[in-house]
Amino acid sequence: MAERTQHAPGTFSWADVTTTDQEAAKSFYTGLFGWEADDQPVGDGVYYSMMRLGGRAAAAVSPQPPQQRDAGVPSMWNNYVTVESADAAADRANELGATVHAPPFDVMDVGRMAVIQDPQGAFFMVWEPRASIGAEVVNAPAALSWNELASPDPPESADFYGSLFGWRAEQMESSPVPYLILWNGERTNGGIRELGDTPAPPHWMPYFGIEDIDAGLARTGELGGSALMGPVEAGPGRRIGVVRDPQGAVFGLYDGDYDD
């Protein structure tokens, strides 16, 4: 289990799901990953459910904002990248052709963030840590282990994120389809694949580790979710799957070796 006390700038460091049914989502993810919910008050009758793994923050479940619910936006997972300055990152993203949907704002005393849509249409968040670094455990079963972008133009996406975060993109030679591996310094930090003809818009998707992909896919169904893909071989000793929770949020499962 890879524990963290900090994340280098440019690292995917957090994921949370905004959902139409917070209690049901908590039950689903607790049943799938063994997370323990720690409800943190964030407003009048509203709480942010920190999902803990062995006492350490692994992810979170949050109620869908009213404006999203009213617009019929589905439940979804959100992907956060650590930055030194949320304001500087948002300004730079804007210069590079992105849309800053939520300008930088303080999240109480835990951090500062912004919501950005890249030039190809995918949303992501930047996170300037203060009291919270984000995930305190990664790259392990039941922990955030990968982040993948489905893009209509992977080279253009790679150029954008390289200019924004300094990521380096390299073609995965062993992949049967074009796939770019993203590097943040000396660490792999995610991947980019073709969006293709899927009905979904461009998007980032988190993967969480699972000890047994077959059991994980089966357990997803038992808990009311659905398997969308997999298991699929993703390199020697690595298998993945894509699932949807009962409220409609899509995420990936990863079974294999982990980086430190």
Mean pLDDT of 207-233: 96
Query: What's the pLDDT band for 71 if we cut at 50, 70, 90?
Result: confident
Six-digit token string for 247:
């409220």
% of the chain beyond a pLDDT of 90: 85
DSSP 8-state symbol, 52: E
3-state class of 137 per DSSP? strand
Confidence at residue 58, expressed as pLDDT on a 0 to 100 scale: 98
What element of type H or E holds 95?
Answer: helix 86-95
Six-digit token string for 38:
């720690």
Confidence at residue 2, expressed as pLDDT on a 0 to 100 scale: 87
Mean pLDDT of 162-188: 91
Confidence at residue 169, expressed as pLDDT on a 0 to 100 scale: 97
Residue 176 has pLDDT above 80, yes or no: no
95-144, pLDDT tens digit by residue? 999 999 999 999 999 999 999 999 999 999 999 999 999 999 999 999 99
Q: Are the C-beta atoms of 153 and 193 separated by less than 8 Å?
A: no
Query: What's the pLDDT band for 1 if we cut at 50, 70, 90?
Result: low
Backbone phi, psi, residue 65, to 5°:
-60, 145
State the pTM of this model.
0.96
The rounded distance, in Å, linking the Cα atoms of 117 and 27 is 30
Higher-confidence residue of 235 and 9: namely 9
Higher-confidence residue of 178 and 251: namely 251
The rounded distance, in Å, linking the Cα atoms of 251 and 122 is 15
Domains of the chain: 1-260 (3.10.180.10)
What does pLDDT average to over the chain?
A: 95
Angle at the Cα of 255 (from 232 to 235), degrees rounded to 5?
Answer: 50
The rounded distance, in Å, linking the Cα atoms of 170 and 177 is 14
Of 187-191, 224-228, 256-260, the one with minimum mean pLDDT is: 256-260
Higher-confidence residue of 199 and 92: namely 92
Name the one residue in this structure whose structure tokens are 């990968």.
146
Query: What's the pLDDT band for 148 if we cut at 50, 70, 90?
Result: very high
The rounded distance, in Å, linking the Cα atoms of 200 and 153 is 15
